[in-house]
Amino acid sequence: MLSRIDLCDSTLIQNAEIIVYSRRDCHLCELLLEELDPLVRGRARIVVRDVDERAQWRDEYGLQVPVVWASGAVLCHYHLDKAAVTRWLAARAV
C-alpha cells in the first residue's frame, strides 16, 4: 500500500499540498515521485493516493497514473511536468 508522504519544513507554503494519484507496482509512479520529491521539498506536502482504493479515483485517474493534482486541477500525468509544478509553487509563494 502506498503511504502518505509528508515533507515537513518551516518554509512550507501555507496549505500547499500536491496529491499524486498512483498505484502499486507502477514504475512511472515511482519515477515521478522520485523527481517530484526534491522539487517540492520544504515548499509543499505530497500526498500519495492509490487509485485502486476508491472507485471514483480509479474511474477518473486509473488509466492516467501517475497524476499530479493540486488546487483543483491536474498539473500533469504520466511524466512530471517540472515547469507546471514550479509555476504552481511560485503562484503560492508569499
Instruction: Give the CATH number for residue 55.
Output: 3.40.30.10
Tens digits of residue pLDDT in 41-83:
999 999 999 999 999 999 999 999 999 999 999 999 999 999 9
Pick from 7, 4, 2: which is nearest to 89 by CA? 7
Total structural domains within the chain: 1
The pLDDT score that the predictor gives to residue 12 is: 53
The pLDDT score that the predictor gives to residue 14 is: 63
pLDDT exceeds 70 at position 94: no
Range of the domain at 68: 17-88
As a whole number of Å, the end-to-end CA separation of the chain is 35
- For the chain, what percent of residues have pLDDT higher than 90? 80
Helix (H/G/I), strand (E/B), else coil: 70: strand
Tell me, yes or no, whether 45 lies in a domain: yes
> What average pLDDT does this structure show over 2-29?
72
Tell me, yes or no, whether 8 lies in a domain: no
